[in-house]
Amino acid sequence: MSELKVDKVSPRTGTYVSLNTVGSKNIIINGDMSIAQRGTTATGLGNGDSGYHTVDRFRFEEGGSPTAEFTMSQSTDVPSGQGFATSLKMDCTTADASLGASDIIRIGTFFEGQNLQYLKKGTSNAESLTLSFWVKSNKTGTYTLRLEDVDNTRMICSSYTISASATWEKKTITFAGDTTGALDNDNGLSFLVRFNLLAGTNYDTGTLQTTWGSTTDANSAVGQVNLADNTANEWFITGIQLEAGTTASDFEFLPVDVNLQRCLRYYWNLVNGTDNEIGIGAYQTATELNNIIQYPVLMRASPTLDIVTGTNYYKINRNGGVDGFNSFSIARVTTRTALIYNSTEISGTAGQAGEVQSGNASAFLSFSSEL
């Protein structure tokens, strides 16, 4: 990916700063937690619920068999006077004070290698990286995080301390550049950042790995507190910025449309509720309804269909009536378009067209090309 440099004036210093990667210095996408296409709250997360649930680009990750459960939400609790409107909140709803050795819960965000070539990783000119963020919890103590090079199975870790209960604190951590292992120049998963919330002994019996080296789980969460030891525990984060260099700059606030477009590359929600427009559909045959979908942006890869189904959750308004049906399947998928269709619950007239909509408040239809 070619490097594009854009100059702007820093409101803090009055000096010009140079931005990389299409005018954005921040590697993190949606670091202000402002986009949440899937919804603002997901409850009962645990027991195998790894995945994206609320705030775009931030994934709930669980390993082992912890009995803890969390509610994950987009919150309006933010540091005062810093310009943020939303944060990511993790609220413990089922406690687990006795972790198993392989238990871990963390929040991760993932990146394509082709977007990070300017970091020059794996060369003698590898860029240092500075991570800054605002964090708050009533569970004080030591927390851990790690940066990971997936392509070369390498990582570097750090700890940070939450000193004051229920108080927003800003953290800044600088990581040396890694002169070993170039990132793949493609659209696959190459790099990630993970924030630990709890970790069993498989992750904390070594020495915290604060220099780049081979990924070793035992060295990745040494000293980590257990956020799930009490149902009163909460953890909030916002303003996450990862940038090249050894100094943290002011958080880069992007216009909401720009931030949304960056998220849409990985996930696009088309339907969420009743009477959402899907498009113009046509009966290919008397028992097959087809709908061509064009995504608003070029997606990272050919997406899968993320859909909630149920009796008459979807409908076509055609000449002579309304046909309800339960679901869609997907075919002819590219990074630009897809065909969604129903060939099991439809009865109509071949060649007839009509307006296709959602028909139930619980209907949900999205396209996902997440890393």
User: What is this structure's pTM?
Assistant: 0.93
Contact 32, 43 (CB under 8 A): no
Question: What are 176-232's pLDDT values in tens digits?
Answer: 999 999 999 999 999 999 999 999 999 999 999 999 999 999 999 999 999 999 999
What does pLDDT average to over the chain? 94
Does residue 217 sit in helix, strand or coil?
helix
CATH match for 6-264 among 3.40.50.2300, 3.60.15.10, 3.90.550.10, 2.60.120.260? 2.60.120.260
Average of per-residue pLDDT across 228-249 = 98
What are the sequence ranges of the domains in the chain? 6-264, 267-368
Query: Is 5 a residue whose pLDDT tops 80?
Result: no
Structure confidence by residue, pLDDT tens digits, 259-277: 999 999 999 999 999 999 9
- Mean pLDDT (whole number) for 65-83: 98
Extract the tokens encoding 305: 């269909």
Query: How many Å is the Cα radius of gyration of the chain?
Result: 23
Amino acid at 184: D
Characterise 67 by phi-psi region: left (phi > 0), alpha (psi -120 to 50), beta (else).
alpha
Q: Which residues contact 14 (CB under 8 A, 6 or more apart)?
A: none
Between these two residues, 322 and 17, which has the higher pLDDT value?
Answer: 322
Cα–Cα distance between 136 and 126 in angstroms, integer? 32
Q: Is 107 helix (H, G, I), strand (E, B) or coil?
A: strand
In this predicted structure, what is the pLDDT of residue 8? Answer: 42
- 3-state SS, 246-295, equals CCCCCCCCCCHHHHHHHHHCCEEEEEECCCCEEEEEEEEECCEEEEEEEC
CB distance 307 to 328 below 8 Å: yes
CA separation, residue 42 to residues 18, 29, 285 (Å): 38, 20, 40
pLDDT digits (tens, 9 = 90+) for 14-25: 433 333 334 689
Check residue 1 and give its pLDDT: 31
